Structures are given as structure tokens and as C-alpha cells.
Chain A
């Protein structure tokens, strides 16, 4: 990801953060939807159990919401959120360790049963991996099927991280056209993606 993409994405995040700071809770939902996948993946490096990872992610977003008045926009929202998620996951693990040490007197067979349940709930299930692969293939196929100007516009924006202004200059067209082309590209991919996502 290059610098410009980061800036565009950061601008969108900061605009949403500003809306949340003015009491608009719907703006925070958009931040959750945007980052939930990345935060769950991050938390899963610490917490293997899927249900626990979801709880920790939920907890991290709730902490972030409460701490948002202290967020001054000096770093990217994701960087700030990343730290909160890591700390929440570490606190969860520390709590687990202290609980385990106090439960050492429990029956050994009962402990084995708990571990097995956890293993079964492990998040990289074949179904989940299959769905991810299916989504990936659908998106790639949809991009390949796009008309030339739409493919160029979405590629310059998403992969090269260029701003609308720069894309307009590169494609020798007005900014309005760039905006429209990028939207039409997303819309075309989304039509194929929609049936796969609940």
C-alpha cells in the first residue's frame, strides 16, 4: 500500500471520526464494518478460539468508541485501533492465564474437554477458507471482465493508491468521470459478490 492510498483512506477515516465526535453513532458503524476483518485477523494471532476472538474484537471496538474523544488524529485511525486491539487481546490472555492457574486444581479430564472444544472452534475452518477463496476468485474474475476504462480507474485507485485528481490527469478526463468510473467498477464487482455474502 503506498502513501497516497494511506492518505485517501486516512482522510475517510478521520472524516468519520469527526462525525462520531459530533455524536453521530452511525459513522462508527462504518468504521467497524471497514476494519472488523483486519481486527479479527489481528486478534486471532493472540486468541485462537473464534468465539473469543470475536468477543475481544467487540471489546476492542467498544474501548475505541469510549476513548475516541482522546483520539486527536495524529496517527491513522487504524494504527490507533490496532494498538487498542493488541492491548485488549493481551489483557484477555493475561486474564486467561491467571484463571488457568487458579483452576489447576480442576479435574484433568474436564480441562481436556475444554481444550478440545476450543480446537473445534478454531477460526480457520475449511468452510471459512473456502468462502474466502470463492470471494477472491469472484473479485478477480469480475475485475478482468470490466471494460478497459473502468478497470484502469479502479486499479489506479485501489492498487496504485492515486487520488481522483491524479487519476483524472492520468486518464485525461474530468474528476467527475473518474468518480463515476470507480463507482461503476465497484458496482459491477458487487453484483457478483452480493450472492456470496449474507
Chain B
């Protein structure tokens, strides 16, 4: 075996040989004995003992592999492997971030739903007190010059109007309030329903049973 090939065997051991040189080197059948002995030296230095110096096992395996069909599998380049090595933790972090975002959104939605259903429950359970005062902020828009309709000339003044007490009729107010509460309840109920039900499936079936009068 040539001196150059032996040097290349040594370089291949250390991962310092390119693919083309490896291909050329493998054509020389006599490299195996040098490769084997150089690795025995390495095994001794790394204390991989007891040593198995017999090459019969390799010859047996080699004979069996000769009968096997040659592998022709897609190969991955060194750059692709390195890229994969660096992308793996990034992909992991991205997945973790997505899961965390989904969890936060889920918790937020759940909190909103719980709050709205609690409101509805409270509204449904408590007896409505007579409301005599309306204490709501209102927006008052005032045009500086009403004749000028161009938006740029408009001045919008957002101010809160102080509390105004208006005397109202209790019965009419009560009915109105009940109607508003019912509307809210149905609205909330529908929102809740669409969030949990399966698409295309009927969320619930209302059964009405009446007792047969004898």
C-alpha cells in the first residue's frame, strides 16, 4: 500500500478527509488492515478493553452483506445536518411558544365566558331593584361650526356628562330591564354554545314534556 494511502487512512480516522478522497481510498482493499490496527491503537489509548483483534467477525459480516442488496438511500449533506442541528431547538421553541399562546388565549376566553355567565346568573337570580337613576357616561359631540361639514373642521369634544337623575315609572322600567336581561342572557348563551359545540352538530335539544291529563 502506498504511503499516501496510509496517510489518508490516518486522516479518515480523524474525520479530516473529503468524500472524493474517501471514495478513491475505499477502492484500495488493503487499507482495511491498517484501518483495523490504527483503531486498535486508538482503543488502547481510550481504554476500550478487552480488545478483539480477530478480523474473522468482520469477514463474516462482510460476506453476509455481499448477499444483501446495495443501499441507495437519499443522503444528507454536512451543511444540511448542521442546519438541522441548529434549527431543531428553534423549532422546539416555536412549538413551545405556540402552545403557550394557545393556552393564554384559551384561559382568557374561558375567563370572559365565566364572567359573562356569572353575570347572567346573577341577573337571573337577583330580584331587580327599582332603578330610578341613570348614571351613565355619555359622549357629547359638539361642532364648532355646524355649517362647515368637512371633517377636518369638526371638533369632537369627548366629555363626560355629570350624573343626571331622571324620575321614571317603576313598572315600565322593570319590564324594560327584564327584556334587556333576557336578551343579554340569550346572547351570552349563544356565544358560549358556539365556543364549545362541534361544528355541524346540534348543541342541545330542548325536550318539552307535558303530563297527560286524565
- The dominant DSSP class at the B interface is helix
Bound form: Cα–Cα A14–B50 in Å: 26
Cα A164 to Cα B52 in complex, Å, equals: 29
Interface centre among B7, B14, B36 (most CB of A within 10 A): B14
Of the residues B11, B12, B26, B44, contact of A26 by C-beta under 8 Å:
B26
Give, as a whole number of angstroms, the nearest-CB distance from A119 to chain B: 18
* Chain A residues with CB below 8 A from B6, complex form: 183, 187
State A19–B58 Cα separation when bound (angstroms): 18
* Cβ-closest chain A residue relative to B48: A38
Count residues of A near B (Cβ-Cβ below 8 Å): 71
Q: Is the CB of B50 within 8 A of A124?
A: yes
Count of chain A to chain B residue pairs whose CB atoms are closer than 8 Å in the complex: 178
User: Of B59-67, B106-114, B174-182, B188-196, which stretch is located at the interface?
Assistant: B59-67
A36 contacts partner chain B, Cβ-Cβ < 8 Å: yes
Residue from A9, A25, A33 whose CB has the most chain B CB atoms within 10 Å:
A33
Contact with A along B23-40 (1 / 0, CB 8 A): 100100101101111111
Q: B16, A197: Cβ atoms under 8 Å?
A: no
- Contact B57–A34 (Cβ < 8 Å): no
A186–B19 touching, CB < 8 Å: no
Interface of A is mostly: helix
Min Cβ gap A73→B in Å is: 5
Cα distance A54–B52 when bound, in Å?
A: 11
Name which residue of chain B comes closest to A134, CB basis. Answer: B51
Report A's interface with B, CB cutoff 8 A: 1, 7-12, 14-16, 18-30, 32-34, 36-38, 40-41, 54, 57-58, 61-62, 65-66, 68-69, 72-74, 123-124, 128-129, 131-132, 135-136, 139-140, 157-159, 163-164, 179-180, 182-183, 186-187, 189-190, 193-194, 196-198
Give me 6 other A-B pairs in contact (C-beta within 8 A), A18-B19, A74-B84, A179-B11 excluded.
A33-B36, A33-B58, A65-B65, A157-B14, A194-B37, A196-B53
